[in-house]
Amino acid sequence: MDEPLEIEQEGVGMPAWAAFGDLMAGVLGAFVLVLAAALVGQLDLANQLQAEVQQRQAEQARREALERALAGPLADGRITLVEGRIGISGAVLFATGSDELHADGRALIKSLARPLRTYLAQRDEILMVSGFTDDRGMRTGVQKFSDNWELSAQRALTVTRTLMAEGLPPDAVFAAAFGPQQPVASNDGPEGRALNRRVEIAPTPRPKRAAASAP
């Protein structure tokens, strides 16, 4: 009697299982990559948030230090302090159309010099002294300045030079002119124009000096 013919079907079903294994390995690898990317993204976000919090805390500490340094002038209302900018009314410092300090204005700037000098000595910052005007043209007969830009520049320079005369290092203070730009109130009425005629003193980070070139 003939024996049953045995036919070996080698490899039947193996390609399917192998393909399924490769597919699962690919899915698992992709999942691991997505998970790793998500973790890296969360870590970057956490670091960014931490840096922002530290920056806010440093800014808040800077403002509080400035408030303490200027407690006297702030208490009697001679200056304002908003977002780290010291504001002084133009009428307190100068006569209309003039860049020469009133006696009271000069005394005020002198009173600010010492606390500002102490403040700067503890930080890598410099002072920007900015002059601002309203949007009205120069009065007839006032020929010393050609326009409000020149007036604001000269007033800023006057305050800057007074601060330097009172001991601020020349490399720790500079002047800037904005003329009628960046008003803080409407120029439609005298009260708003009076607010826009002002000088601001603002601490700002010291520019980084370029490294000396190698010979």
pLDDT of residue 29: 75
Integer CA distances (angstroms), 55 to 51, 52, 60, 120, in order: 6, 5, 9, 19
Residue 51's domain comprises: 20-69
45 and 80 share one domain: no
Q: Which amino acid is at 147?
A: D
User: 71-98 in b/e burial notation, b at 16+ Cβ within 10 A?
Assistant: eebbeeebbeeeeeebbbbbebbbeeeb
39 and 93 share one domain: no
Token pair 């010492």 is at which residue?
114
Render each residue's pLDDT in the chain as its tens digit; 215 residues.
555 555 455 544 556 666 666 667 777 777 778 877 887 887 777 777 777 777 677 677 777 878 887 888 888 888 999 888 999 999 999 998 899 999 999 999 999 999 999 999 888 899 999 999 999 887 655 568 889 999 999 999 999 999 999 999 999 999 999 999 999 999 999 999 999 999 999 999 988 765 444 44
164 and 60 share one domain: no
Assigned domain for 14 exists: no
The structural domain count of the chain equals 2
Structure tokens at 154: 């000269």
pTM recorded for the entire structure: 0.70
pLDDT of residue 215: 47
Residue 86: which CATH number?
3.30.1330.60
pLDDT of residue 153: 96
Structure tokens at 75: 């208490």
64 and 85 share one domain: no
Assigned domain for 119 exists: yes
109 and 126 share one domain: yes
pLDDT of residue 141: 58
**Are 173 and 127 within 8 A, CB to CB?**
yes
3-class secondary structure for 202-213?
EEEECCCCCCCC
Token pair 């407690």 is at which residue?
71
